[in-house]
């Protein structure tokens, strides 16, 4: 075959798909998002016809012309890029960029007659980040970037992502795109980011039981498979326990995990690691590892795990299977409820959902020339991963290097160490480069999920609409391991309760171990589940009292200057120094009343209604989040920004260069932000807790200021020794404030089918000063789309035996363009944060949280039915509306 006009001398292996073959030939613009033709990330042309190359046998391309994203422009005969690539740049139709090559290939092949119906034309293409608004704009040729001639400061400007050109041409390098980088964004040391030899492949044997003890493992047959180099079991595991969750303070999470454990605690847990020359040999080896299990009784629900006499998952660490608990009372809740004219109490359930970052968990590791362990990995937390690997493997910090190239989406899922530890074991034991890439099925069965929660809310209010009592009772299922179990629980009950003024509050919450796939960090960090419950209950209480739900909220909302419940009052702890919830509420109400959005015409018999919900988010995790940055003069002019936080589509690289350029008085394009590399940048706690701009950005501003001062001093002295200057900046992340998001929906519901159609979606956010409106709008649109999936249909289903039964994208249903309405995004203009750079607050997690309750509230308005469980699938809605006739 020819690929992009070049003859390919290699022959595909028997059974090899075209995607793997192309990637082996170095065409890394062809991405792997699944293994089953479900996502479109691998789209290429064969003789001009788009195909999903992961389900196209490579041998069928013999004698044909294959075109990948790298060849799209020349194939089109365009020297400056294909028009669709240019359109994706102009509309910033990407965030992490992992789906983008496939999306562009699909879009560029659309015949004119398919363009008017993009939802149908793009039904085979998944993007998890953008919410599709920017993609649709790109395909329709609508630009989002605006040329601002004569603008002196880049702050507040709709500037594009620095890696945009690389993303749209397929040149952007993600974790397993093991090829040198080229172009202006490549940075000074890319060759150090590549293994010295082609890596071995690691595959994992996974447990077929939810709870078991391993009597013995026989690896002899696996080791006889040609190409198998080593097999590791519990006998090879370091004895030191850790948590796969990564936090600034590692003690925040229970040390309950081993690299390879002899006790099985969930179906899908890793049992053995087979390392081989090829993926096929590693898989063949896995099939021949023989394990003798003593099967133990399992508990697969919190109720079963909390029952008297229940099997214990971690008896020494968590007696009674309770991983973490909160019990807190302020005022006298019983008196508060007694004083209420109306009390509403209900139990709500939020299900287990998956992040579905399009790039799966992946790590490649090797030993460098000095024998140091180097890991190139898909992580949000390179420094914390390095630190924990040092602890587990007993190495000094300077003996481990962790690099995060461009990461293909995270959403909290990559704030875990799920691949790095076992790759480190294999590299250290074999001395050779090793890579591990999760399959999409492993993402569902063995990576982490959102914590399923059962939340009982009791709220009471006086007839004048004043809240008098507020109680929350939460049970979170943390699964087999306690990674993020305590943190998610504490966070889940903070802002959800703090959002409203009430003198009498009670919180009781527990995170429970069960023999199921572990839950972990997920966008919103527990709040999406509790906010669904609280905002539904508050809405219902308002209706019972005869109040407009927005007005009822307005009377009771936490206001600027109020002390949040969880604030210690110490300097630097969370404060409401600025808070624009009220303005956001006004903006959404006005938008819903404006008549904008779709009309309900032609929907005879459908019921319509509107709903709103409010969500607050404390910026920055409590207790500090130290971040360092370095800005340096670049040979030949311009600057390098060495920033420890990772870029995974959240837009921090874009904003960091705006911030640095503003201080240094240069163009943003003069600042090159380099990938996170523990050797090249100062310690940064990581890209989580919405800290990428407020903490890492502040560190960048301080580094740039120090450098500007040094440059000025050099100029004043009139002397230069030719040395390039550099300076560091630090932010402790101790001062933090509260951001807010308010979602509104107008919906139509068909009682005959249960179909919910969203006629209007609007979200107003208090992000303080808006540093980059295009980037911020993209975050909100993406958050709303991801949350709509979780509200309407996404669910990781687990059987009573603890087996995950949703194992592929097509069984899970990630929203595609056809599922996602346009969301109008509005910015609060009345706030400027005293802590974030230029008054900015973070806004990467907050947009997710109010979506499900706003939708449930709109359904309540339309139908009179209060929905208490997610997801609000069509069959659920149908049954609720037709229960009397069923
Ligand atoms: S990787 Fe081929 S469709 Fe997902
Ligand atoms: S930009 Fe589409 S998956 Fe990240």
Task: Summarize pLDDT for 232-252 with one digit per residue, the tens.
Answer: 999 999 999 999 998 888 888
Are the beta carbons of 871 and 790 closer than 8 angstroms? yes
Backbone angles phi, psi at 857, to 5 degrees: -70, -35
Reported as a single tens digit per residue, the pLDDT across 796-811 is 999 999 999 999 999 9
Ligand 2 atom with minimal separation from the 95 CA: 1
Q: Please report where in the chains the tokens 């039915």 appear, as a residue.
A: 865
* CA of 174, nearest ligand number: 2
3-state secondary structure of 485: helix
Distance set, CA 36 to CA 55, 272, 353, 441 (Å):
6, 25, 20, 10
Ligand 1 centroid to Cα of residue 360, in Å, is 12
32 lines ligand 1 (CB under 6 A): yes
42 lines ligand 1 (CB under 6 A): yes
Are the beta carbons of 123 and 816 closer than 8 angstroms? yes
- Protein residue closest via CA to atom 3 of ligand 1: 37
Confidence at residue 647, expressed as pLDDT on a 0 to 100 scale = 75
CA atoms of 160 and 147, how far apart (whole Å)? 11
Ligand 1 centroid to Cα of residue 101, in Å, is 12
Ligand 1 atom with minimal separation from the 40 CA: 3
CA atoms of 656 and 671, how far apart (whole Å)? 9
Are the beta carbons of 529 and 457 closer than 8 angstroms? no
Confidence at residue 256, expressed as pLDDT on a 0 to 100 scale = 97
Confidence at residue 179, expressed as pLDDT on a 0 to 100 scale = 87
Are the beta carbons of 708 and 678 closer than 8 angstroms? no
pTM: 0.96
Indicate the pairing of strand 362-367 with strand 434-437: antiparallel
Reported as a single tens digit per residue, the pLDDT across 451-476 is 999 999 999 999 999 999 999 999 99
Closest CA to 104 of 127, 129, 120: 127
Could you say which residues of the chain have pLDDT below 50? none
Ligand 1 centroid to Cα of residue 343, in Å, is 51
Confidence at residue 108, expressed as pLDDT on a 0 to 100 scale = 96
Pocket test residue of 40, 358, 814 for ligand 1, highest count of atoms within 8 A of CB: 40
């Amino acid at each position: 075959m020819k690929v992009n006009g070049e003859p390919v001398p290699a022959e595909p292996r028997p059974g090899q798909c075209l995607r793997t073959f192309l990637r082996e030939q170095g065409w890394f613009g062809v991405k792997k998002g699944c293994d089953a033709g479900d996502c479109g990330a691998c789209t290429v042309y064969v003789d001009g016809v788009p195909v999903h190359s992961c389900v196209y046998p490579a041998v069928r391309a013999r004698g044909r012309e294959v075109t990948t994203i790298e060849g799209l422009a020349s194939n089109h005969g365009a020297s400056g890029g294909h028009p669709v690539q240019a359109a994706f740049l102009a509309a910033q139709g990407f965030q992490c960029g992992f789906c983008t090559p496939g999306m562009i290939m699909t879009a560029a092949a659309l015949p004119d007659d398919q363009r008017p119906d993009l939802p149908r034309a793009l039904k085979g293409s998944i993007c998890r980040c953008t919410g599709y608004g920017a993609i649709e704009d790109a395909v329709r040729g609508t630009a989002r970037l605006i040329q601002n001639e004569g603008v002196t400061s880049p702050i507040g400007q709709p500037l594009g992502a620095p890696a945009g050109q690389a993303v749209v041409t397929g040149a952007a390098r993600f974790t397993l795109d093991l090829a040198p980088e080229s172009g202006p964004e490549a940075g000074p040391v890319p060759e150090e980011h590549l293994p010295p030899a082609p890596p071995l492949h690691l595959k994992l044997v996974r447990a077929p039981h939810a709870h078991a003890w391993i009597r013995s493992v026989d690896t002899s047959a696996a080791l006889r498979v040609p190409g198998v180099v080593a097999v590791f079991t519990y006998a090879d595991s370091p004895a030191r326990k850790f948590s796969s969750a990564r936090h600034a303070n590692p003690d925040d999470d229970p040390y309950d995990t081993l690299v390879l454990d002899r006790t099985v605690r969930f179906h899908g847990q890793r049992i053995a690691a087979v390392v081989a020359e090829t993926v096929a040999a590693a898989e063949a080896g896995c099939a021949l590892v023989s394990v003798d299990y003593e099967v133990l009784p399992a508990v697969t629900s919190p109720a079963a795990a909390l029952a008297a006499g229940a099997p214990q998952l971690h008896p020494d660490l968590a007696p009674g299977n309770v991983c973490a608990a909160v019990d807190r009372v302020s005022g006298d809740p019983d008196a508060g409820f007694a004083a209420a004219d109306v009390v509403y109490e209900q139990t709500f359930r939020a299900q287990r959902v998956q992040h579905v970052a399009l790039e799966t968990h992946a790590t490649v590791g090797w030993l460098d020339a000095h024998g140091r362990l180097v890991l190139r990995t898909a992580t949000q937390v390179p420094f914390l991963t390095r630190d924990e690997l040092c602890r587990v493997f007993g190495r000094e910090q300077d003996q481990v290097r962790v690099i995060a190239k461009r990461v293909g989406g995270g959403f909290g899922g990559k704030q875990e160490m799920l691949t790095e530890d076992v790759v480190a074991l294999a590299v250290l034991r074999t001395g050779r480069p090793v890579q591990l890439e999760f399959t999409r099925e492993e993402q569902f069965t063995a990576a982490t999920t959102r914590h399923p929660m059962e939340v009982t809310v009791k709220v009471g209010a006086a007839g004048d609409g004043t809240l008098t009592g507020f109680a929350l009772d939460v049970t979170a299922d943390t699964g087999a391991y306690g990674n993020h179990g305590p943190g998610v629980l504490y966070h889940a009950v903070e802002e959800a309760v703090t959002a409203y003024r009430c003198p009498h509050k009670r919180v009781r919450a527990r995170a429970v171990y069960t023999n199921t796939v572990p839950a972990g960090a997920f966008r919103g960090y527990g709040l999406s589940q509790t906010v669904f419950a609280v905002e539904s209950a508050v809405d219902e209480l308002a209706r019972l009292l005869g109040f407009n739900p927005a007005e009822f909220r307005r009377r009771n909302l936490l206001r600027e200057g109020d002390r949040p419940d969880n604030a210690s009052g110490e300097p630097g702890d969370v404060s409401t120094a600025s808070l624009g919830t009220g303005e956001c509420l006004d903006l959404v109400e006005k938008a819903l009343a404006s008549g904008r959005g779709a009309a309900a015409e032609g929907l005879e018999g459908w019921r319509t209604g509107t709903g709103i919900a409010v969500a607050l988010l404390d910026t920055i995790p409590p207790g500090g989040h130290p971040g360092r940055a370095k800005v340096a003069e670049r040979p030949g002019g311009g600057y390098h920004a060495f920033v420890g936080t990772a870029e995974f589509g959240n837009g921090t690289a874009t904003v960091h260069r705006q911030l640095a350029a503003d201080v240094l008085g240069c163009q943003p394009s003069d600042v090159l932000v380099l990938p996170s590399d523990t050797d090249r940048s100062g310690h940064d706690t990581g890209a989580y807790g919405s800290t990428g701009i407020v903490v890492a950005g502040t560190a960048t501003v301080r580094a740039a200021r120090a450098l500007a001062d040094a440059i000025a001093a050099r100029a004043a002295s009139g002397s230069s020794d030719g040395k390039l200057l550099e300076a560091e900046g630090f932010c402790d992340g101790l001062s933090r404030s509260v951001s807010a998001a308010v979602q509104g929906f107008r919906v139509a519901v068909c009682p005959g089918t249960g179909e919910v159609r969203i006629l209007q979606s609007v979200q107003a956010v208090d992000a303080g000063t808006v540093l980059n409106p295009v980037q911020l709008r993209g975050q909100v649109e993406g958050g709303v789309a991801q949350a709509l999936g979780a509200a309407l249909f996404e669910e990781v289903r687990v059987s009573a035996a603890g087996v995950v039964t949703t194992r592929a994208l097509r069984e899970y249903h990630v929203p595609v363009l056809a599922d996602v309405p346009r969301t109008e995004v509005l910015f609060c203009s009345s706030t400027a944060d005293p802590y974030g750079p230029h008054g900015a607050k973070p806004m990467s997690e907050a947009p997710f949280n109010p979506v499900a309750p706003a939708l449930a509230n709109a359904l309540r308005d339309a139908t009179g039915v209060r929905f208490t469980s997610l997801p609000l699938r069509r069959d659920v809605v149908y049954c609720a509306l037709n229960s009397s006739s069923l």
